[in-house]
Chains A and B, each alone.
Chain A
């Protein structure tokens, strides 16, 4: 296209100037050739002008496209930078505003709950009456009667028998209830 433009431009200049300079106006056919040449030169110049105009428009559109793409890229980069900055700011704010004390308090609370559970679990086996309960349990498994257990295990025979029976019942309620839990 550019080559065509250059050829047409140079042809128009040649067809315009060469006949006017080289040919004699007084000779009839020279004059005719000058007229034809001038007409052809106008046609070449107008064609070249149209081609150059088309190319100029295309270049302008390309420049606009390039500018639009650049602007779009710059805009995208700006938006992504802004978004990442916002995200980082939000994360920082979350970290700063998130109650570190609460976490610590929760940890302590959980720790306290856990240790209480352990103490409760330990309290059953470490109870002072627990060995007596174990003996009572063994005796019951061996088929001994409650009277025998009160008199021989709890050592509460005679006048203390009713008291011993009540103690036996209390011990059974206490430890067997915990075992069932």
Chain B
């Protein structure tokens, strides 16, 4: 059941990133905003990888859990935007 709930949240993340792609396709300004948002997410994601030890202590989770979270965020963005762009 735990796998089911994780899969559902993963799918929700994928759909959310597809929605971001859809919003980006509405207007050039929206595209810029989404691009800025994605760039910010990318920077935060990279910093999180660099500061994984201190961040795991701050969030009170193990490093493995933090790394799994960061990888799943990347996978969510790739899958969601990939589905939107390829459709």
List residues of chain A with CB under 8 Å of any chain B CB.
5, 8-9, 12-13, 16-17, 20-21, 25, 31, 34-35, 38-39, 41-42, 45-46, 48-49, 52-53, 55-56, 59
List residues of chain B with CB under 8 Å of any chain A CB.
1-2, 4-5, 7-9, 11-12, 14-16, 18-19, 22-23, 25-26, 83-84, 87
Kindly report which residue of chain A lies nearest to residue B18, judged by CB atoms. Answer: A38
User: Which of the residues A41, A42, A59 comes within 8 Å of B1, measured between beta carbons?
Assistant: A59
B67 to chain A, nearest CB (A): 21
Known contacts A12-B15, A55-B1, A56-B2; is A45 also within 8 Å of B22 by CB? no
Known contacts A38-B19, A55-B1; is A21 also within 8 Å of B12 by CB? no
Contacts of A48 on B, CB cut-off 8 Å?
8
User: Which of the residues A25, A38, A39, A52 comes within 8 Å of B5, measured between beta carbons?
Assistant: A52
Known contacts A21-B87, A52-B4; is A12 also within 8 Å of B22 by CB? no
Can you report 25 A-B residue pairs in the complex whose CB atoms are below 8 A from each other?
A9-B11, A12-B11, A12-B15, A16-B18, A17-B83, A17-B87, A21-B87, A25-B25, A35-B19, A35-B22, A38-B22, A39-B19, A41-B15, A42-B15, A42-B19, A45-B8, A45-B15, A46-B9, A49-B5, A49-B8, A52-B2, A52-B5, A52-B8, A53-B5, A56-B4
